[in-house]
Amino acid sequence: MRTFSEGVSKRLVWLLCGTVVLSGCTGNPSPRGETAADQKKVSAPGTFPIVDEKITIKLFTKHDPKVEDYATNEFTKWYEEKTNIHIDWQTVPVSALAEKLQVTLAGGDLPEVIMTAGLTPSQLVAYGSQGLFLPLNDLIDQYAPNIKKMMEQVPESRKYLYAPDGNIYGLPRYSENVHTSMPKKLWINQKWLDNLGLQMPETTEDLYNVLKAFKTEDPNGNGKADEIPFAGATQDNNEPESFIMQSFLFFDRDTYVMVENDKIVFTGDSEGYKEGLKYLRRLIQEGLLAPESFTQDRKALTALSEAPEGARLGAAPGLIWTQFSVSNSPLGRDKEFVPVPILAGPDGKRYGFDKGESVIPAEFVITKNAKNPEAAIRWIDFFYDSSQMLETGMSPSYGIEGVHWEKIEPGKFGLDGVTPAEFRILVQPGTPGNYYWNQSVPSYSTVKTMYRYEVTPEMDSEVVLYNTTKELYKPYSMLDKKLPFLYFMPEDLAKYGDLQKNIVGVVRQFMLKFVTGNLDIDKDWDKYIQELNNAGLKQYVDILQETYDKNKE
SS3 state at 246? helix
380 and 524 within one domain: no
Q: Check whether residue 31 and residue 153 sit in a common domain.
A: yes
- The percent helix, strand, coil of the chain (3-state, each to 5) is 40, 15, 40
351, 385, 419 - which closes a domain: 385
**Contact (CB, 8 A) for 478 and 191:** no
Task: Report how far apart, in Å, the C-alpha atoms of 477 and of each of 179, 273, 317, 349 are.
Answer: 12, 18, 18, 11
| pLDDT for 275 | 98
Q: How far is 197 from 456, CA to CA, in rounded Å?
A: 32
Q: Name, in order, each residue with C-beta under 8 angstroms of 180's C-beta and a sequence gap of 6 or more.
A: 319, 355, 358
Task: Give the residues of the chain that fall short of pLDDT 70.
Answer: 1-40, 458
d(CA 486, CA 497): 13
Number of Cβ within 10 Å of residue 38's Cβ equals 13
385, 419, 454 - which closes a domain: 385
In a domain, 377, yes or no: yes
Q: 365 with 511, same domain? A: no
Long-range CB contacts for residues 8-15, cutoff 8 Å, separation at least 24: 10/164, 10/165, 10/166, 10/489, 11/164, 11/550, 11/553, 13/165, 13/166, 14/162, 14/163, 14/164, 14/165, 14/166, 15/553
The predicted pLDDT at position 416 comes to 85
Residues 496 and 366 in one domain: no
Query: Domain check: are 370 and 507 in the same one?
Result: no
What is the rounded CA–CA span in Å between residue 115 and residue 118? 8
Asked, for residue 422, whether it belongs to a domain, the answer is no
| pLDDT for the residue numbered 294 | 94
**306 SS3 class:** coil
Question: Strand, helix or coil at 365?
Answer: strand
CA distance 211 to 350: 20
Distance between CA atoms of residues 288 and 326, nearest Å: 23
The total number of structural domains that make up the chain: 2
Strands (E) in 299-336, as ranges, are: 315-317
User: What is the spatial distance between Cα 201 and Cα 214, in angstroms, rounded to a whole number?
Assistant: 13
Residue 274 located in a structural domain: no
Q: How does DSSP assign 254-278, residue by residue?
A: TTSEEEETTEEEE-TTSHHHHHHHH
Question: Which of 342, 369, 385 is the endpoint of a domain?
Answer: 385
Residue 223: inside a domain: no
How many Å apart are CA 234 and CA 301, to the nearest integer? 10
Task: Answer whether residue 165 is part of any domain.
Answer: yes
Q: Which amino acid is at 242?
A: S
- Asked, for residue 371, whether it belongs to a domain, the answer is yes
Are residues 153 and 96 in contact, defined by beta-carbon separation less than 8 angstroms?
Answer: no
Q: In the chain, count of helices (H) and strands (E)?
A: 20, 15
Distance between CA atoms of 384 and 396, rounded to whole angstroms? 11
Beta-bridged to residue 162, according to DSSP, are 168
Helices (H), 107-203: 121-129, 137-143, 145-153, 178-181, 190-196
Q: Count of CB atoms within 10 A of residue 298's CB?
A: 18
Please indicate, yes or no, if residue 284 is contained in any of the structural domains. no
Q: Which of 137, 143, 144 is nearest to 169 (CA)?
A: 137
Which residues is 86 bridged to in the sheet?
56
Residue 507 DSSP label: H
Q: Over the range 40-63, which residues count as b (16 or more CB within 10 Å of their CB) and which as e?
A: ebbbeeeeebbbeeebebbbbbbb
Residue numbers of the domain that contains 31: 4-178+359-385
8, 123: one domain: yes
**Closest of 385, 394, 392, 317 to residue 73, by C-alpha:** 394
Please name the residue ranges forming H helices in 238-338. Answer: 240-244, 271-285, 298-305
Same domain assignment for residues 508 and 374: no
* pLDDT on residue 28: 40
Please enumerate in sequence order all residues whose Cβ is within 8 A of that of 519, keeping only pairs 6 or more positions apart, or say none.
Answer: 510, 513, 527, 528
94 occurs within a structural domain: yes
Q: Is 213 exposed, middle or buried (0-12, 13-18, 19+ CB in 10 A)?
A: buried
Print burial letters for 254-277: b (CB count within 10 Å at least 16), e (below 16). ebbbbbeeeebbbbbebebbbbbb
Nearest to 470 by CA among 238, 99, 181, 49: 181
Domain shared by 500 and 377, yes or no: no
The type of residue at 130 is Q
- CA-wise closest residue to 159 among 460, 429, 483, 542: 483
What is the domain-level CATH number for residue 93? 3.40.190.10
